[in-house]
Structure 1
Amino acid sequence: MNSSVTSKEIFKDKHLERLSRLIEGDQLELTLEGLTGSSQGLFLAQFWNAFRRPLTIIAPDTLHAENLLGDLRFFLKHHKLRQQPRLFPSWELLPYEPLSPLSEVSGERIDLLYKLGTGQCPILILTVEAALQKLIPRSLLDQMTYSLKVGDTADRELLEICLSENGYERTGLVETRNQFGIRGDILDVFLPSHNHPVRVEFFGDEIESIRHFDVTSQISIEEIQSIDILPVHEIVLNKNQVDSRIEKLREEADLRGIQPNRIEELTEKINCLKSFTGMEWLAPYFSERMESIFDYLPDSTVLVMQEPDIVKEKSDQFCGLVEEEFDRSISRNDMVAPPEQLFLNTDVLFENFRKKPVLNMAALKLHDDEQSAVVAFDIKSVPALYNHFDAFADSARQWQEEDQKVTVAAPTKGHVSRINELVLDKHLSVGVESGLIHQGFHWPELGVVFVAEHEIFGRSHKHRHRRRARSTRFAKGFQDLQAGDLLVHVDYGIGRYSKTKELKTGLGSGEFMEILFSGDEKLYIPMDGLASVQKYTGAGDSHPPLSKLGTVAWKRQKKKAKESILKMARELVKVYAERQLSTSHVYKQDPVLMQEFSDSFEYVETEDQISAIEDVLNDLENDKPMDRLICGDVGYGKTEVAMRAAFKVVLDKKQVAVLAPTTILAQQHLNTFRERFRSWPVSIDMVSRFRTPAEQKKTIQKAKEGALDIIIGTHRLLSKDVTFSNLGLLVIDEEQRFGVKHKEHLKKMRASVDILTLTATPIPRTLHFSLMGVRDLSVIETPPSDRLAVKSYIRKFDIQVVRDAILRELDRNGQVFFVHNQIQGIHSIAKLIQDAVPQVRIGVAHGQLQEQMLEKTMRQFLDGELDLLLSTSIIESGLDIPNANTIIINRADRFGLAQLYQLRGRVGRYKHQAYAYFLIPGTSVSDDARKRLEAIEEMSGLGAGFQLATKDLEIRGTGNMLGKNQSGQIATIGFDLYCQMMEETVRELKGEKIETRIETELNLQIRGFIPKDYIPELNERLEFYRRLQMVVHEESLTGIIKEMKDRCGALPEPVEKLKTLIEIRLLCQLLHISNARLNRNQVSFQIEKGTPIDPGKLAPLLGKRLTILGEFQMILTVDVGGWKENARQILDCLKQIRETLDDES
């Protein structure tokens, strides 16, 4: 393939001689000029391939660095590298900003430093800012690194101390980076540089296995051989040195006149030996010395400076910023290390470059090739192709006539296939390769041309691979149970969890849950009774009264709720039945064109997305009208599902209408649909207030005549003058945001066209399951793999905070949303921001602007002509601007939880770390507002929308979701019990058979339990008890036991007994046995009505050992032994009875 140009082709004799002199040290510097576009990536790839020397490349900024990283990976993909080129990230903080770098960033930096020191990083790219920052010394990093390998032994006590000193936090359940947990012979740890947490299993002190596990299911997923436990932070607080370091800190503080109370607060935090915000700015005080990236580089490293003039300019600018921000920190009375201890300056940076061979690379050609220190290349940019394949075809033919080999870099295999078809159609001799380059080039001397796909089609790909990784855990059961939480007991009502307590039983002592009811009455629930207990989730922030034991009040409440649920369920089932009787257009299958359209998708679909697409396409190929809801978190790919459906409908010569709640969202959909359908003869237009009346009239006429395939609009689409020639599909985005009148109109339309509704307002999963069968719903909950959770901060309004947030974003060439939800005063806010950050380009947007001005402002922001969009909440839904990764929300206390979540979803749609600032006034805020803000800060994980759905029930209620009447019933009995009753009611109304579960009491002189030393964490123990007691199938039991072994180690005898008792209970419940009791050598079984057992067929089964007493009792005689032997005989008996039932069936 063309990208595997050989080094011999690039390095002519004269070049090779100069490069060899550089490598051998005879010449310290060589300048390469004329390397335009992605040719720098090609040159460096072949340089590495020819000389196999480690490369460290200094780029002027993040944009240059990321472009070069992508180019290198493309040109090196045919070479065998143990490690891909890596980018050493900067902290993405302003100097002395009172924050800490994100743990993922610190983890990646420390991991790369370790790999550099051990020769595992052949090519490293970093920005000027990252190169200027000083680092902990290499000797200290080596000292704090703890390596574990399968088969080795480890001092477990020392390992725990090492984890704590390295900044890891001990917890019961490891769910986030920098946590570790110990359960018996199991160590779980989430290393910051790993995508999955790690589980280490010991046998004594020997490491028996190391494996990654899934953070959601907590189950192991792959075996690995070794791990390196590195420090979490770029500062190490060692307890043996803390006292002397604090003394050093105090001396410095006295010299600077820092207020004593500030130092006392600081020393208190340090003495805790735990991480605290902003501690990295103190790193020099906790290390004998600081080093730089150059101290970590292997001796054989070749340094590369990309665009040296720009690097020097950027370095000078950053050093000036460091001094300026240090002065600000002093005025804030912050205790931080001075600049010379934390950063290099420009002179020192360039001095370090003189210690190793240096390649200077520049796009401009300023010299001829005659100078010994300069190699000048004659490389041309690819001419403008006007976003049209025909223009590319003309250029390709001309290059072919000149005997040049042409290669197109396309982002996915689907795109490769599509371009290959176009190439064949035009009879071109062009290669197409999968991958990304940032800019094409023509290198005549080599006879090659490389073109980026976006240069042909006018789209710059920011390619994201997606993995199967579930979002944040949602239904935690008892995992987050705390004393004082409300619980619902199915039989006794609402109580308050107090504690667990050891009580004596017939077989010894046992663990019980203590629940407090009205009048301080206590109920003790044994661990095998937890299946009847649920955490209470209400509907609003008011808590229900505690139930009173010994009364019929709770039964009455459940009966009333059941009646209300029955009424609602009947309506749902009626609508469902009517739809089943209706017929709709059956869309033809066209797998070839559908596959071609799918292949042109720029990302890799998640399994959830694929599942949702299949659901929709199957609906369209059915003769029943589609009415499906696609529910997914912000930015998870719902629109692509809609576009697949639209494509299928348009193929059948039918029209599609896309309804959006706001003008801005309608415009976003227009842009997205036109971009996605650009290679297909599909006509798409919009009606909204961004269009003049004349333009709208023309568009509506085209829809009426059938000259328009897809029409996008706001509620204007529901006007009486809008008619369609052949409407087949209506896509509704965020239906809940339309008014009552519009919803009634939509309800009528449901009878005649297929409906696809999209929502980013998540539905609690328990409600989703309870409505299955009457509401077609597809859930997308898989995040893009390289997407980082948005970092959220709640701050009192301070222009300094605003300034720092804006500057940090501008520093990485990004953009900012600033939400101020009052039109009055919005221009005063604009002036305040402009005064604080003079260089920022601000645009103002709100609903009262003239249409042309609003559209112009939005277009300028989308095109990068504005740095900051100051707007009302009109940007809440659908706006997708990948380069905007900071949002500042003023008066966040005035927004609802769902609004805050939607607004935060405007950022974090690309691989950069995104930030959300929720600003509140200096005065106190209401309790509700405080709860909302605490919830939004807590729910910072990817896919947290499903958590939000439940939290929103607690704060706001379910009026929007189910109506006020149902909201009242949920408040009375709790959400989980409500959903359970809803599911049962729906199934009853649909005529499905609902089996009544027999409650079986076992008295077999076997005591099974989970020992505290096996699962020390109470909440985890309670959750395992609850799940085990809710098991209804052997497969489920096997899965939980397998998980328990994986997470906690080999089963101790008490857990083996518990497992055996559950196996017996499952068989008894299957056979309708309500009681099994062992007395001496006899087990009596009490059989209930409805049993599948035929007593007449049992007599010959076990001979004299089994006696039938009447219709509802049988006695099994056992050979008395230990508990295992007794249990084996009971299980054998029950299994043989079950087999007779299997034979009959």
Structure 2
Amino acid sequence: MSLFVITEDEIFGPKRPAPRPGLKGAPKALRWSSISQLKEGDLIVHEDHGIGRYGGLLKMEVGGKVSDFLLINYADKDKLYIPADRIGILQKYVGPDDKLPKLDRLGGRSWNVAKQKAKRSIKEIAKQLVDLYALRMHRKGYAFSPPDTNYKEFEATFGHEETPDQVKAIEEVIRDMTSERPMDRLICGDVGFGKTEVALRAAFKAVCDGKQVAMLVPTTVLAEQHYDTFSKRMGPYGIKVGLLSRFKTRKEQGQILAALRSGAIDIIIGTHRLLQKDVSFSNLGLLIIDEEQRFGVKQKEALKRYRALVDVLALTATPIPRTLQLSMTGIRDLSIIETPPEDRLSVQTTVSPYDEGLIKTAIHAELDRGGQVFFVHNRVQTIHNRTEQLRRLVPFARISIAHGQMKEKDLEQTMLQFLRREIDVLVCSTIIESGLDIPTANTIIITEVERLGLAQIYQLRGRVGRSREKAYAYLLFSDGARMTKDAEKRLKALMNFSHLGAGLQLAMHDLKIRGGGNILGFAQSGHITAIGYELYLKLVEQAVAELKGEPWHEIPEPEINLPVPARLPERYIGDMDIRLNLYRRLSTVKEKQQIERMKEEVRDRFGPLPQEVESLFGLVHLRLMLKRMGISRLDVGNSGIYLTFTETSPLKPDKLVKMITNKASRFHFVSPARLHIRAPGLANGDILGTVMQKIQIIEQRTR
């Protein structure tokens, strides 16, 4: 008798998370300057006309049809009206707040002069970026084997359903690892969005191929927690996990280092102690860096010796702007995890002066529902006085202290007690800002918040809200404290970006606050002020592509002139911000399926689609077709349809000529790039449907 074993994947295909309503098909754009966050008076960039000021979303009748337009005010009272469905050609201005640019004049020279100056300056940066990129491309690394049954089995031990972004990030990491080029990938995901699982899978893959893994973390407490997580998941497979930190005695450290050298340890998790010269490996294949933004310049210099030799995977929740700059320009690969885990709720954030009544109420409310509280006071000199005040305020609570200047064993013991729920309120320094996962702690109170940076506050707030419970963050500034303008802006930013997955947007906002005009050591703030950060980065990418010899064909947004009402009317969606957001999302769709999913979402939220909304979705589909065909403009007149082709149109000229010759009564060129399609009676029927049908016929016959 023969026995055949067939796996579940062979019958049903690989495991995929079910699509989640409202998230599926979301455009994977970097949304840090999203037009949907526009407010009247904000600066806005039009690539051709320059910097203006947003004047609102207006309804206007043009050519006999009512449409929505974005008003942009320029210098000398010039006004520009952009059809709302073409919102994609605009960018929100991101640049240093202390040097706001002047508004441009429509038709003036200043905008083109500023762009040309920026382009000249960018060339030198682009050359350095290309040299870095070439160095990385030509280095040969170790190509890991493709995932096998063992890997699939390990995958199945994950106790949750992967989010779509998690699946994509894992696939990208495994693809990098199985290629010969050394991986240098940044995983950017909000706190608690599943970056650790990506690291676990990469580590397992590396160990299965006989390689060692080093995981570098910024704090001893986080190292302990990762050690527990990795040990639990890897233990059943006989994988040996080690921990190296200042919690270990000198003798223990010596034993761990010897085991690393001999290959007895497969995965080592440690703080910056891992970067010291006495650390060596038997066969290191993967370096994982958690909370990369927390490491200093010297530590990053030490990391460079690894980058040349092994695969590097960096994890970050709030990437520092320079990290973003390099990721955006292709020097490092970037994976973004934006979709929150199922049932995850955003953290309700309150900003207030220091208020004992508020503190007492907040602690009572959390303890009454069986939870725990973080109380952050980042001054070791006064932390004991603050703790005594708290004990008088909430005498029934079990309160303890944790900070970085405590003896290692005492700190470890306190953190373990908090994990075991033997402590109700942990009064602590910012030592808890990295990666701690305590699902029962769902209230955090942060004092003297004016002294902390945006990334720090964001990381601290991320310590709560990691379960299905509603979480609360109280950001308290000192009574009577004079906040700097930067501190005020940071707190405003945190209030604006309190939704799930806002880490990337906050990083860009922090860049705006700090001015951040430095790429690879070149001071560029003047050019960023002149043209805005988003356009500046785009010009860097363009220059890099040209130096690499890659074609840079920017497909222009087609201009469509149809006598068909196509808009989101106020009677259907009353909230202007929602309408603006939907226009923005429609401008970023890349395929028909996304349009259909958005239609389904809008119908579900607001009811049956009025005719002008149906037409708007049709118009978006038509625009996709025109972009694909390299058509820059479509006009409808009494005698039919006019199409204007770009020089880079992918349509085959010989097939186009043949079609026109065979159907001379229907098609003819009125100029070398402008085609006329006769369509008698078009105005009396379904104009949009007829136009789309004609375009589809041309595409099918000329591809």
Q: Match of 2:498, as an amino acid?
A: S
Task: Describe the SS at the equivalent of 1:636.
Answer: coil
Structure 1 counterpart of 2:47: 490
Aligned counterpart for 1:933 among listed residues 471, 491, 512:
491
Aligned counterpart for 1:716 among listed residues 260, 267, 273:
273
Q: In terms of mean alpha carbon deviation, does 1045-1054 or 693-702 score higher?
A: 1045-1054
Whether the aligned pair in 2 keeps the contact of 1:1086 and 1:1114 (CA below 8 Å) is yes
Structure 1 counterpart of 2:206: 649
**Matched residue count:** 680
The residue correspondences of 1:734-883 to structure 2 (distance < 5 A) are 734-762=291-319, 771=328, 774-883=331-440
Aligned counterpart for 2:685 among listed residues 1115, 1124, 1128:
1124
Whether the aligned pair in 1 keeps the contact of 2:667 and 2:677 (CA below 8 Å) is yes
Q: Quick check: 1:726 aligned with 2:283?
A: yes
Write the distance in 1 (CA, Å) between the matches of 2:156 and 2:648.
56
Q: Match of 2:663, as an amino acid?
A: L
Q: Match of 1:997, as an amino acid?
A: I
Q: Quick check: 1:972 aligned with 2:533?
A: no
By how many angstroms is 1:721 displaced? 1.6
Q: In terms of Rg, which structure is larger?
A: 1
Write the distance in 1 (CA, Å) between the matches of 2:520 and 2:96.
11
Identical columns (%) = 45
By how many angstroms is 1:877 displaced? 0.6
Structure 1 counterpart of 2:16: none
Task: Describe the SS at the equivalent of 1:1104.
Answer: coil
Structure 2 counterpart of 1:605: 162
TM-score by length of structure 2 reads 0.84
Whether the aligned pair in 2 keeps the contact of 1:540 and 1:953 (CA below 8 Å) is no
Structure 2 counterpart of 1:578: 135
Q: Structure 1 residues 1034, 682: CA separation in 2 closer, same or farther (over 3 Å shift)?
A: closer
Q: Deviations over 1:310-344 (max 9, x none)?
A: xxxxxxxxxxxxxxxxxxxxxxxxxxxxxxxxxxx
Task: Describe the SS at the equivalent of 1:580.
Answer: helix
Aligned counterpart for 2:444 among listed residues 860, 867, 887:
887
Q: Structure 1 residues 615, 772: CA separation in 2 closer, same or farther (over 3 Å shift)?
A: farther
Write the distance in 2 (CA, Å) between the matches of 1:1018 and 1:718.
53
The residue correspondences of 1:183-194 to structure 2 (distance < 5 A) are none
Provide the alpha-carbon RMSD of the alignment. 3.9
Write the distance in 2 (CA, Å) between the matches of 1:740 and 1:533.
36
Write the distance in 1 (CA, Å) between the matches of 2:425 and 2:660.
84
> Which residues of structure 1 form unaligned runs of 5+?
1-211, 220-468
Q: Quick check: 1:903 aligned with 2:464?
A: no
Task: Describe the SS at the equivalent of 2:242.
Answer: strand
Write the distance in 2 (CA, Å) between the matches of 1:215 and 1:1090.
36
Q: Match of 1:883, as an amino acid?
A: T
By how many angstroms is 1:906 displaced? 1.6
Structure 2 counterpart of 1:1141: 702
Whether the aligned pair in 1 keeps the contact of 2:73 and 2:79 (CA below 8 Å) is yes
Write the distance in 2 (CA, Å) between the matches of 1:539 and 1:676.
45
Task: Describe the SS at the equivalent of 2:500.
Answer: coil
By how many angstroms is 1:694 displaced? 2.9
Aligned counterpart for 2:663 among listed residues 1092, 1097, 1102:
1102
Q: Match of 1:692, as an amino acid?
A: T
Write the distance in 2 (CA, Å) between the matches of 1:728 and 1:215.
39
Q: Structure 1 residues 598, 1075: CA separation in 2 closer, same or farther (over 3 Å shift)?
A: closer
TM-score by length of structure 1 reads 0.54
Structure 1 counterpart of 2:111: 554
Write the distance in 2 (CA, Å) between the matches of 1:1014 and 1:775.
44
Write the distance in 2 (CA, Å) between the matches of 1:1063 and 1:648.
42
By how many angstroms is 1:516 displaced? 1.8
Write the distance in 2 (CA, Å) between the matches of 1:881 and 1:1069.
49
Write the distance in 1 (CA, Å) between the matches of 2:416 and 2:580.
54
The residue correspondences of 1:97-496 to structure 2 (distance < 5 A) are 214-215=21-22, 477-496=34-53
Q: In terms of mean alpha carbon deviation, does 890-899 or 605-614 score higher?
A: 605-614
Q: In terms of mean alpha carbon deviation, does 985-994 or 891-900 score higher?
A: 985-994
Q: Match of 1:518, as an amino acid?
A: A
Write the distance in 2 (CA, Å) between the matches of 1:710 and 1:725.
11
Q: Deviations over 1:1124-1143 (max 9, x none)?
A: 2666666555444433312x
Task: Describe the SS at the equivalent of 1:995.
Answer: coil
Q: Structure 1 residues 815, 531: CA separation in 2 closer, same or farther (over 3 Å shift)?
A: closer
Structure 1 counterpart of 2:13: none
Q: Deviations over 1:1098-1142 (max 9, x none)?
A: 454324343445645554444345342666666555444433312
Write the distance in 2 (CA, Å) between the matches of 1:579 and 1:473.
24
Structure 1 counterpart of 2:179: 622
Whether the aligned pair in 1 keeps the contact of 2:566 and 2:614 (CA below 8 Å) is yes
Task: Describe the SS at the equivalent of 1:854.
Answer: helix
By how many angstroms is 1:550 displaced? 3.2
Write the distance in 2 (CA, Å) between the matches of 1:1119 and 1:741.
73
Write the distance in 2 (CA, Å) between the matches of 1:1064 and 1:786.
37
Whether the aligned pair in 1 keeps the contact of 2:54 and 2:72 (CA below 8 Å) is yes
Q: Deviations over 1:1033-1058 (max 9, x none)?
A: 66666666666555555555555666
By how many angstroms is 1:899 displaced? 0.9
Q: Quick check: 1:918 aligned with 2:475?
A: yes
Whether the aligned pair in 2 keeps the contact of 1:655 and 1:710 (CA below 8 Å) is yes
Write the distance in 1 (CA, Å) between the matches of 2:571 and 2:377.
53
Write the distance in 2 (CA, Å) between the matches of 1:508 and 1:648.
59
Whether the aligned pair in 1 keeps the contact of 2:449 and 2:476 (CA below 8 Å) is yes
Q: Match of 1:662, as an amino acid?
A: T
Q: Structure 1 residues 1026, 649: CA separation in 2 closer, same or farther (over 3 Å shift)?
A: closer
Q: Structure 1 residues 581, 797: CA separation in 2 closer, same or farther (over 3 Å shift)?
A: same
By how many angstroms is 1:1024 displaced? 5.0
Q: Deviations over 1:559-601 (max 9, x none)?
A: 3333455544444444343333222233345733333433333
The residue correspondences of 1:1003-1042 to structure 2 (distance < 5 A) are 1011-1024=569-582
Task: Describe the SS at the equivalent of 2:236.
Answer: coil
Write the distance in 2 (CA, Å) between the matches of 1:800 and 1:1004.
62
Write the distance in 1 (CA, Å) between the matches of 2:186 and 2:583.
35
Write the distance in 1 (CA, Å) between the matches of 2:353 and 2:557.
55
By how many angstroms is 1:891 displaced? 0.8
Q: Deviations over 1:70-120 (max 9, x none)?
A: xxxxxxxxxxxxxxxxxxxxxxxxxxxxxxxxxxxxxxxxxxxxxxxxxxx
Q: Deviations over 1:604-641 (max 9, x none)?
A: 43343333333333333332222222222112232232
Q: Match of 1:940, as an amino acid?
A: S
